[in-house]
Structure 1
Amino acid sequence: MTGTSGRIDERNQHWLQVRVYYEDTDFTGMVYHANYLRFFERGRSDFLRDAGVSHQSLLQRPDPAAFTLTNVNVDFRKAAKVDDLLEIRSRYIGVQGARIIFQQTAFRGDEVVAEADITAVMIHSDGRPRRPVPEMVEHLKSFIFAA
């Protein structure tokens, strides 16, 4: 599974193309359900990077920070297959207390293949939860999805 360079459109929706490889599929040639989480992870990571927030910069802070997922709700609509080119669209919804909310959709052309509501929290390097880094929250305010 590889991605191509993403982009953020005028509505602050991030787009990333992902090719489905044989290794992403089960014995039927369809994407194994857990691999959609990998596709969505790449979409979120690239969105954050393109928005100016890198995982590496968070880890290199004097008080290192990282993300962990606390809730993932995926609605599988259609089966993606080997060689399909998917477009992962990621939307930053905002921060609610310690939670960072994303919505993501996997498209094959105009077809919705899968949709996910993702809740992440920020953690210290030892795994303890923490409030999101204020500078990151402030920076991401301008990237809240405009429906």
Structure 2
Amino acid sequence: MPLHRFAIRVYYEDTDMAGIVYYANYLKYIERARSDWVREVGVDQNALREGEGLVFAVRRVEADYLLPAKFDDVLEVTTATVQVTGARMVLEQQVLRDGEVLFSAQVTLVVINEAGHAARLPAIIRRMVH
């Protein structure tokens, strides 16, 4: 898969008392970028949920906060596939400002069924994201 790019601007509401992006907002930024990435590769999450009763869930996030983003910064979130197996996807996501990495995360996604139990990633989706 080619590198997916997603632009985000930092708003006042994203910042803390020091005027920098509050740490938890980076997780929101990478979530938005992942949702856009999934849509771009052709996965219809609503159809997956309604047709097969399956949804994506974050299983693990390993994150490094390297440099602060500030109010009105224009950021870019990149998403790259690291590994796809029958049961999970591992993605590398970064938040950059002018090409400089501010935040980096490795995110493990799984698929769960309506009962909340792990399920196999449908083969068609494995092919789409690999």
- TM score, norm. by length of structure 1: 0.84
Kindly indicate whether the alpha-carbon contact (under 8 Å) linking 2:75 and 2:95 is maintained by their aligned counterparts in 1: yes
Match of 2:69 in 1: 80
Q: Does 1:37 align with 2:27?
A: yes
Which has the higher relative contact order, 1 or 2, with Cα contacts under 8 A spaced 6 or more apart?
A: 2
Match of 1:109 in 2: 98
Q: Does 1:125 align with 2:114?
A: yes
Cα offset, 1:24, TM superposition: 1.0
Gaps of 5+ in 1: 1-10, 142-147
CA offsets 1:73-114 (integer angstroms, 9 cap, x no match): 111110001111000000122313412110001000021110
Gaps of 5+ in 2: none
Q: Distance in 2 between matches of 1:119 and 1:108?
A: 24
SS where residue 23 of structure 2 aligns?
coil
Structure 1 runs (4+) deviating above 6 angstroms are none
Out of 123, 129, 134, the position equivalent to 2:123 is: 134
Match of 1:18 in 2: 8
Question: What percentage of aligned pairs have identical amino acids?
Answer: 37
Please report the RMSD computed on the Cα atoms of aligned residues, expressed in angstroms. Answer: 1.2
Kindly indicate whether the alpha-carbon contact (under 8 Å) linking 2:86 and 2:126 is maintained by their aligned counterparts in 1: no
CA offsets 1:107-132 (integer angstroms, 9 cap, x no match): 00021110000001100022111011
Cα offset, 1:46, TM superposition: 0.5
Cα offset, 1:17, TM superposition: 0.3
Cα offset, 1:57, TM superposition: 2.1
Q: Distance in 2 between matches of 1:12 and 1:57?
A: 24
